[in-house]
């Protein structure tokens, strides 16, 4: 993940005001994830075009989210990791296609490369994100050629 992608992900998460610390590198982002992200970072996923249903399916169930909000608790490390993973792949797709609408449409379209599953579904795991990133890299390379 390039520094510019890290910067964009951090901005979408709400930056220093929300994260409570300055994040300038992948290592800093990993530390923020381990320290558990605030629940308010989920607004960044919504602003990036992920629906409440997708956030519920891929990051945290709505009921758990409400419970955490009532108790003013943070996301777990796993939930924080899933949120950053999805935001990272969404940001990379946005950079690749140059448009948030095109990126989000591509992320939801079933692709034969993924056994007719959508990239967003494949990106539920770190291994899946690597495959999605590789496809996006090929698209970006072909577009530049």
pLDDT at 1: 54
Residue 123 CA to chain centroid, in angstroms?
9
The Cα–Cα gap between 145 and 126 comes to: 28
pLDDT at 145: 45
- Structural domain count of the chain: 1
Neighbours of 15 (CB within 10 A): 13
pTM listed for this prediction: 0.91
pLDDT along the chain (145 residues), means of 10: 82 94 94 96 94 95 95 96 95 94 96 94 94 93 66
Task: Residue 133: give the domain boundaries.
Answer: 3-144
Q: What are phi and psi of 111, to 5 degrees?
A: -120, 140
């Amino acid at each position: 993940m390039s520094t510019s992608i890290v910067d964009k992900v951090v901005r979408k998460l709400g930056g220093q005001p929300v994260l409570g610390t300055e994040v300038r590198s992948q290592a800093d982002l990993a530390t923020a994830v381990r320290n558990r992200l605030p629940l308010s970072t989920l607004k960044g996923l919504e602003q990036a075009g992920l629906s409440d249903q997708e956030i519920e399916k891929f990051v945290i169930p709505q009921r758990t989210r409400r419970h955490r909000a009532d108790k003013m608790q943070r996301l777990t490390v796993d939930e924080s990791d899933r949120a950053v993973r999805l935001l990272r792949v969404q940001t990379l797709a946005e950079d690749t296609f140059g448009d948030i609408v095109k990126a989000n449409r591509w992320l939801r379209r079933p692709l034969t490369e993924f056994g007719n599953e959508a990239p967003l579904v494949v990106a539920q795991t770190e291994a899946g994100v690597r495959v999605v990133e590789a496809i996006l890299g090929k698209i970006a390379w072909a577009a530049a050629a």
